[in-house]
C-alpha cells in the first residue's frame, strides 16, 4: 500500500461520491486533506473494531466488507464499488473488516480533519446521509435476495449488480448506452457462495447453466461477458413457480 496527493477536479468519481454536492470552495478544502492510497488485491484496508485513521471514497477496484463472528468465522456482508464511501464518521470503531477484493485505489481523508469538515459543511453531511440511505435500501434488497430468491435468481442478481455498477462507472468494455457488459468478477466462486448463502458447487452449477443458456460468456475464470443485460435482469427478477 502506498499513498500520494490527489486533485479533486480530475477525480473520475467526484460527481457520484460524497464530494458531488460541494461548492468549488468546499472542494478546495476537501482536496487539501485528500490523499490517494493504493492497495493490492487481498490487502487489509480496515479491521473491524479498530479505530480507523481515515475515511475514503473508492476510486477504482472493489472493496469486500466482512463481519467477524464470535467464533472467529467471517461473513461477507457487502461490496463497495467506485464512488462508494468507506467508513463511519463519528463512530469510535469500524463496524466491519474491509479488504481489497482486487487492486483498489482509495481517496482518503484523515479522520479528525474530515469530521471537522463535515460539521462545517452541510453539503458533505447531506451527501453522507444520502449514502447511508442508499446502503439501507441495498441491505433491505439483499435481505429479500437471501431469504426469498432461488439459487439461479441469486446468481443472476449478483452478476446483474456487478455489471450495473461496472457499467455505471465506465469499468466495462461496453460502449455508452449499450445493453452488453464485460467485467471481472471481484470475488472467487467460494466467496460468491459465502456472500449468497450457497455452496460452491451450486454457484459453479448455476454459472455453468447461465453459460449454457447464452446469458453469459466466460473469458478465463474471472472475466464475464453479458451479451444481453436485459435478459440477465429478467432472470434475476423472475418469480419461482
* Bridge partners (DSSP) listed for residue 54: 110
User: Final residue of a domain: which of 79, 112, 143?
Assistant: 143
Same domain for 53 and 73, yes or no, is yes
CATH of the domain at 55: 2.60.120.10
Handedness of CA 20, 59, 94, 28 (dihedral sign): negative
Q: Report the Cα 188 to chain-centroid distance in Å.
A: 15
Specify whether the CB–CB gap between 195 and 187 falls below 8 A: yes
Same domain for 128 and 166, yes or no, is no
Same domain for 82 and 163, yes or no, is no
Same domain for 113 and 210, yes or no, is no
Q: Report the Cα 60 to chain-centroid distance in Å.
A: 10
In which domain, by residue range, is 117 found?
A: 2-143
Distance, CA of 111 to CA of 51 (rounded, Å): 10
pLDDT at 175 over 90: no
Same domain for 28 and 111, yes or no, is yes
pLDDT at 171 over 50: no
Cell of 94: 469500524
User: Final residue of a domain: which of 143, 159, 193?
Assistant: 143
Same domain for 69 and 187, yes or no, is no
Same domain for 163 and 135, yes or no, is no
User: Final residue of a domain: which of 127, 143, 159?
Assistant: 143
Q: What is the pLDDT of residues 5-49, one digit of tens each?
A: 556 766 777 777 777 777 778 788 888 889 999 999 999 999 888
| Number of independent structural domains in the chain | 2
Same domain for 175 and 111, yes or no, is no
CATH of the domain at 232: 1.10.10.10
Same domain for 135 and 156, yes or no, is no
Same domain for 201 and 228, yes or no, is yes
Predicted pLDDT of residue 143: 74
Q: What is the pTM of this model?
A: 0.83
Same domain for 132 and 167, yes or no, is no
Q: What is the pLDDT of residues 43-94, one digit of tens each?
A: 999 988 888 899 999 999 999 999 887 887 788 888 999 989 998 888 888 8
Cell of 175: 460502449
Distance, CA of 12 to CA of 218 (rounded, Å): 28
Q: What is the pLDDT of residues 177-209, one digit of tens each?
A: 447 889 999 999 999 999 998 999 999 999 999
Amino acid at each position: 500500500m502506498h499513498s500520494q496527493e490527489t486533485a479533486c477536479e480530475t477525480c473520475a468519481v467526484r460527481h457520484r461520491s460524497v464530494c458531488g454536492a460541494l461548492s468549488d470552495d468546499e472542494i478546495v478544502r476537501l482536496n487539501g486533506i485528500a490523499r490517494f492510497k493504493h492497495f493490492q488485491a487481498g490487502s487489509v484496508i480496515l479491521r473491524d473494531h479498530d479505530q480507523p485513521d481515515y475515511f475514503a471514497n473508492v476510486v477504482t477496484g472493489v472493496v469486500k466488507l466482512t463481519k467477524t463472528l464470535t467464533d472467529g468465522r467471517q461473513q461477507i456482508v457487502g461490496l463497495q464499488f467506485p464512488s462508494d464511501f468507506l467508513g463511519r464518521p463519528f463512530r469510535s470503531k469500524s463496524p466491519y473488516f474491509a479488504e481489497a477484493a482486487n487492486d483498489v485505489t482509495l481517496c482518503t481523508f484523515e479522520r479528525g480533519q474530515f469530521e471537522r469538515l463535515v460539521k462545517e459543511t452541510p453539503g458533505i453531511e447531506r451527501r453522507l446521509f444520502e449514502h447511508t440511505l442508499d446502503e439501507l435500501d441495498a441491505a433491505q434488497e439483499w435481505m429479500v435476495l437471501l431469504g426469498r430468491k432461488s439459487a439461479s435468481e441469486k446468481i443472476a442478481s449478483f452478476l446483474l449488480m456487478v455489471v450495473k455498477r461496472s457499467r455505471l462507472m465506465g469499468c466495462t468494455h461496453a460502449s455508452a448506452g449499450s445493453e452488453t457488459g464485460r467485467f471481472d468478477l471481484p470475488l472467487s466462486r467460494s466467496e460468491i457462495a459465502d456472500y449468497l448463502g450457497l455452496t460452491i458447487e451450486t454457484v459453479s452449477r448455476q454459472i455453468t447453466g447461465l453459460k449454457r443458456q447464452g446469458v453469459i460468456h466466460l473469458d478465463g475464470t474471472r472475466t464475464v461477458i453479458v451479451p444481453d443485460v436485459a435478459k440477465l435482469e429478467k432472470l434475476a427478477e423472475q418469480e419461482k413457480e
